[in-house]
Structure 1
Amino acid sequence: MLGSLTLLLALPLALATEPTNCTQLVPVTFDNATVPRLLGHWVYIAGVSRYRPHVEELKVLRYAVFTFSPSSHEDELNVTEIMRLNETCVTRNTSKIQIFWHNSTLAHVEGQASSTAKLMQSNTDLLILKHLNDNVPTLSISARTANLTKEQTEEFKAHLHCLGFTEEDVISTSEEV
């Protein structure tokens, strides 16, 4: 009887400490409006990962912008990237984004390397990607401008919490996240 009473008294506390409601962590199902929404200029803002080599890469990234443009193939986008890695500036226009309509995923292909991601439902001026490589939680945010609104920042933080990350885990090129 005492055990049952303890269980009943502890239940509200246990329910109160459940993880944040993660209804926001919903991937976009690709349709005819998806690709046009992706086209254009994006500013990389921040990323977070549990994959150690990826974390080390994020730590040297100081600035990054990229542009998606149409390719000659309907299932592919051209990517031009400009980034600063520590004190080195790098420009690349040889990579592609492959679009997989059947499972609504994107794959960034550059040479022999590729990474796959799902586009998360979000504000149309945000590009929140949940990366799917090696079953290791990884999330990134890019935006149309370098400055996020408070609402956009909160939206990204909600996604972070859904994957078990904290704000301290974020590696940012901006002071805003």
Structure 2
Amino acid sequence: MLATLALLLGLPLALASEPQSCTSLVPITFNSTTIPQLLGQWFYIAGASRYPPHLAELRAVTFEAFSFSPGSHKDELNITEIIRMNETCVVRNFSKIQVFHENSTLVHVDDNGVASMARLIQSDKDLLILNHINIDSPNLSLSARTPNVSKEHLEEFKAHLQCLGFTEQEVFYASTEHACPLPGDEDNADPQLG
């Protein structure tokens, strides 16, 4: 009887300590309408990672805007990034995203040949939640069509982060306070930008 009672009392603790399954991280299935919806301007909002190279970049990036345009093949997107790392704005416009329909992944290959693979998580059409999957550490980022997101969208992202075991202290946020001038926005260019 005492053993049964101990088992019943210990079971909730054992169940509570098991990691949650991240069933909310459901990837989008790519089809003929999905890819065109990705085209255009996006703003990086927040990210979290335990992968040291990504973590170093998250700490350094204070603003990022990027845009997707059609690539030279139907399953390829060109990406132009405008990033403020520390005090310097940098424009990168020579990388590509490969779209793999069969496993619903996006593969970003930069100018150094470094590839990162991610799944686009189902969410609002104006959000881009990417779960990076080719590394052994959890990694999640949030981008949106506008530089600010609603409280509800931010809470959705935070729920995904919690599902992956991240704390609020592990999340890095971008800021429009540190915005770089965007193409066509030369009148508002910051003279201090490098």
TM-score, scaled relative to structure 2: 0.84
Cα shift at 1:18? 5.6
Secondary structure of the corresponding residue to residue 165 of structure 2: coil
1:27 corresponding residue in structure 2: 27
Quick one: structure 1 residues 36 and 130, their matched pair in 2 at CA, closer, same or farther if it must change by over 3 Å?
Answer: same
2:81 corresponding residue in structure 1: 81
Secondary structure of the corresponding residue to residue 56 of structure 2: helix
- 2:109 and 2:15 map into 1 onto residues whose CA distance is 43
Quick one: structure 1 residues 95 and 102, their matched pair in 2 at CA, closer, same or farther if it must change by over 3 Å?
Answer: same
Q: Deviations for 1:24-46, whole angstroms, at most 9, x for unmatched residues? A: 11111111121011111100011
2:165 corresponding residue in structure 1: 164
- Of the structure 1 ranges 67-76 and 13-22, higher mean CA displacement relative to structure 2 is found in 13-22
2:57 corresponding residue in structure 1: 57
Letter in 2 for 1:115: S
Q: Where does the alignment leave 5 or more consecutive residues of structure 1 unmatched? A: none
- Of the structure 1 ranges 90-99 and 14-23, higher mean CA displacement relative to structure 2 is found in 14-23
- 1:83 and 1:123 map into 2 onto residues whose CA distance is 24
1:121 corresponding residue in structure 2: 122
RMSD: 1.7
- 2:12 and 2:78 map into 1 onto residues whose CA distance is 52
TM-score, scaled relative to structure 1: 0.91
1:9 corresponding residue in structure 2: 9
- 1:18 and 1:114 map into 2 onto residues whose CA distance is 32
Residue correspondences, number: 175
- 2:12 and 2:132 map into 1 onto residues whose CA distance is 35
The 8 Å contact of residues 46 and 174 in structure 1, kept in 2 or not, is answered as: no
